[in-house]
Amino acid sequence: MLDLILSGGSVVLKDEVARIDIGIKDGKIALLQPQISESAAKRIDASGLHIMPGMVDVHVHFNEPGMGHWEGFAGGSAALAAGGCTTYADMPLNGLPPTVSTDALYRKLEAARAAGSTVDFVLWGGLMPGHLDDLESLARSGVIGFKAFMSEPGGDGEGRFERIDDATLYEGMRHIAALGRVLALHAEDETMVSRLSAAAVAEGRTGMRDYAASRPIAAECAAVGKALELAAKTGCPLHFVHISSAEAVDIIEEAKRQGIPVTVETCPHYLTLCEDDFERLGTLAKCAPPLRTKADQDRLWQKVIDGRIDMIASDHSPCPPELKRRGSAFEAWGGIAGAQSSLELMVDEGHLKRGLPLPGIAQMLALNPARRFGLHPRKGEIAPGADADLALLDLRSPYTLAEEMLKQRHKCSPYVGRQLGCRVAATYSRGQRVYDAGSGEVASGTGSWIPV
């Protein structure tokens, strides 16, 4: 007997949307059929709903241990579950200590177990000066890859994550290639950014548009080009996080044609917010790289439409509200808190407004990241044998996101007040319902770490 049958829904498969039933047994998808006649402990009518694979968000910042007052595993994973995400990858920075050694990795895992995660997760390790010898042990311990910054990552005090220097970047790439892992890069040229920023502050140009001008697309492209040159020499697989411009995508696309193993990620905020939103949102919209112009955004959307973007991730990077209000645009904390909204934003903006097929959106949100980081076929796709990780989406229920709906620790999001044309009605992780929009309830402590 099956544990659960979801019947009558429109199921978003890899290449099509099909009206089929989903049979679930022991947390796995057991059957996909037009009609399942087998008995089940529970049957749910999903008529009128679209069932998508749960999002695999490979870029979030849950700042435990030590910085859980910014965001932790409990609140952050609850927000992801409410947004239809069933697996996430936590970045190595902002925690104390950052995840640049196996000791730090185990301390993070202890924090995760103590807090409880609503959905499953994987962890990134960090590539940082002084820690080349830690890469192998971190890889053996199960991290999906390593993250490095080509520009200053921000943060204060002892134990903060440090920017990579060129020599460590090159040597790190050689090590990571030998380990069969991926290097994820924040790609902005620090020399260009620091000089432009210093000049702007010295001249009293400290508004949001001034901040954006200090981190131009040219800085992103310069760093991307440098990293790809080193990748060609070392054979290191690269993943560029939060790419904000079509120009950088073009450089990466040319590298792909040359056989360099590289993938590109962008984020919902670059596709739904632009410089015109600065007056309305202020430092709530500060991030790095910054939001671009409407014309830049349109060009980036065209890359999405053309299939040039491999994956979309939230880059959920929260902080206490007072840090967003600290000083000028250059002094306020930079990061978008959007964990709960990624899937709804992409279906609203991509499918409902631009006509992108849902299977293509599901590939960017789930299948491609699962494949890239060693989680497929367990995650990323609605297919027999896969984990029953599902987001039930109602395309007929537009709503306005309100602050009280947010599940994250601090109820700050640039999307509050935005009308969305769809809503996640329920989320299932390994066959268990972990979020229900009707009650607003989120399960706790049901997720597990997946070493890769």
Question: How confident is the model over 390-418, as a mean pLDDT?
Answer: 96
Per-residue burial over 249-260, b if 16 or more Cβ lie within 10 Å, else e, is bebbeebeeeeb
Instruction: Report the range of poorest mean pLDDT among 66-70, 97-101, 416-420.
Output: 66-70
Question: Rounded to whole angstroms, how far apart are CA atoms 174 and 177?
Answer: 5
- The whole-number pLDDT of residue 246 equals 98
pTM for the structure as a whole: 0.97
pLDDT tens-digit series, residues 332-373: 999 999 999 999 999 999 999 999 999 999 999 999 999 999
- The whole-number pLDDT of residue 155 equals 67
Model confidence at 157, pLDDT cuts 50, 70, 90, reads: low
pLDDT tens-digit series, residues 49-73: 999 999 999 999 999 999 899 999 9
Domain boundaries of the chain, sorted by first residue: 4-45, 54-377
- The whole-number pLDDT of residue 160 equals 83
Mean pLDDT of the chain: 96
Is the separation of the CB atoms in 320 and 64 below 8 Å?
Answer: no
- The whole-number pLDDT of residue 42 equals 97
Percent of the residues in the chain that have a pLDDT greater than 90, as a whole number: 96
Question: Which among 178, 76, 155 is positioned nearest to 410, based on CA atoms?
Answer: 76
Name the burial class of residue 66, with classes exposed (0-12), middle (13-18) and buried (19+) by CB atoms within 10 angstroms of its CB.
middle
- The whole-number pLDDT of residue 398 equals 97
Peptide bond into 318 cis (omega under 30): no
Question: How confident is the model over 202-225, as a mean pLDDT?
Answer: 97
Question: How confident is the model over 80-104, as a mean pLDDT?
Answer: 96
- The whole-number pLDDT of residue 241 equals 98
Can you identify the CATH homologous superfamily of domain 54-377? Metal-dependent hydrolases (3.20.20.140)
Question: How confident is the model over 304-331, as a mean pLDDT?
Answer: 94
Beta strands in 253-331 (DSSP E): 262-266, 311-312
pLDDT at residue 156 greater than cutoff 80: no
Is the separation of the CB atoms in 293 and 38 below 8 Å?
Answer: no
CA 322, chain centre distance (Å): 24
Question: How confident is the model over 180-193, as a mean pLDDT?
Answer: 98
pLDDT at residue 384 greater than cutoff 70: yes
Residues 6+ apart with CB under 8 A from 202: none
pLDDT tens-digit series, residues 3-45: 999 999 999 999 999 999 999 999 999 999 999 999 999 999 9
Model confidence at 162, pLDDT cuts 50, 70, 90, reads: very high
